[in-house]
Structure 1
């Protein structure tokens, strides 16, 4: 993998999912939301940890499992600052600070729903691209160190795989007075047979 053509297709796949997710969020929030994917590539689990900011960095993460003809796990990871920024865009009447985030149930629920919407659109784009069904589980949201999040999420799959599809994601909210940006990282971790199906489909694209 990681040839120019395959990475270009992977990035295009990410942009399709991002565009659909942005439309859904714009309708939900009645705001102008855009999303784009500046980078997409295949990385090892060690590289994945580094891209998240290192094992000791505290982050917000939405985690879900993929089921169906494609199986594996998916993480949507944000810095605490960007997670708080997005939550405050979702529920501006209940503005919170970064320090309040770990114990703020309403904020975490909003973040979970945001991750659910974006993940669903990414997985739909992937499913349509390769012609295989994939169903997301109910997402879980957590605030913890990168190392703890990754170990928990990869406990089973790390025994048989070391590949993650990394999709860099930028979200922009535009209003009459300002432009707010936030950045998140998607890590799609398929089981080996599912990874081979994705690579084969991209190779044919």
Structure 2
């Protein structure tokens, strides 16, 4: 085991590629799960995976004041951390309509209905479990997700509550762009994985890329 902890903003391209590969496998698992749920083919891809300072994360969601739906999951077990899946308002509306096979309007400024809330929570649950299952299989770690918590708020507020107040987590996030493909239409979301520094080092060591 490498005793020195690596900072998430210092990852080499090989280390970042290893984490992106887990994200790709997780996306494949999630696409299979969604396809089985809907009894129709749903494709997913991971066009981009990057390391960003948490202070810059709101900008990729349209700015700190952009209204988003955020699904937060805390991860316990051998590699603790946090996961947030974030969708801008229109993306959240398109995704819930695709899964519900309905045409409902989603207004994040007002209360949404219980069916839409449950659908978004289930999306977060499937994505998180798919990602963690892929990570667990590649590391043999026991990873225990919490029940998803759904929030509607400005991107800056959700990210502050989720990450910036968690001083032990660190100042950088692995940001995985996630795209759902429904026919010719792509629906974009962003998947954020914030491992503790200790968890990140353990994961990279298990993947065989622990040293830069």
Same fold (TM over 0.5): yes
Distance 1:106 1:117, change over 3 A: same
| Separation in structure 1 between the aligned mates of residue 168 and residue 206 of structure 2, nearest angstrom | 25
Aligned mate of 1:98, from 92, 98, 106: 106
**Per-residue CA shift, 1:138-159, capped at 9, x if unaligned?**
0011111011111211255235
Equivalent residues, number:
200
Unaligned runs of 5+ in 2: 1-9
1:140 corresponds to 2:149 = yes
**Per-residue CA shift, 1:41-78, capped at 9, x if unaligned?**
22221122222222111111111100111111110001
Give the secondary-structure state (helix, strand or coil) at the position aligned to 2:167: helix
Contact 1:160 1:192 in 2 (8 A): yes
1:200 corresponds to 2:205 = yes
Distance 1:204 1:191, change over 3 A: closer
1:152 corresponds to 2:157 = no
Contact 1:10 1:41 in 2 (8 A): no
Aligned mate of 1:187, from 179, 183, 192: 192
Give the secondary-structure state (helix, strand or coil) at the position aligned to 2:95: helix
| Separation in structure 2 between the aligned mates of residue 116 and residue 26 of structure 1, nearest angstrom | 15
Q: CA RMSD in A?
A: 1.9
**Per-residue CA shift, 1:117-151, capped at 9, x if unaligned?**
01110111112222211111000111110111112
* TM-score, normalised relative to structure 2: 0.87
1:76 corresponds to 2:85 = yes
Give the secondary-structure state (helix, strand or coil) at the position aligned to 1:114: helix
Flag the structure with higher helix content.
1
Matched ranges for 1:33-52 at <5 A: 33-52=42-61
* TM-score, normalised relative to structure 1: 0.89
Give the secondary-structure state (helix, strand or coil) at the position aligned to 2:104: coil
Distance 1:130 1:41, change over 3 A: farther
| Separation in structure 1 between the aligned mates of residue 113 and residue 27 of structure 2, nearest angstrom | 27
Matched ranges for 1:6-17 at <5 A: 6-17=15-26
Distance 1:152 1:25, change over 3 A: same
| Separation in structure 1 between the aligned mates of residue 166 and residue 160 of structure 2, nearest angstrom | 10
Give the secondary-structure state (helix, strand or coil) at the position aligned to 1:161: coil
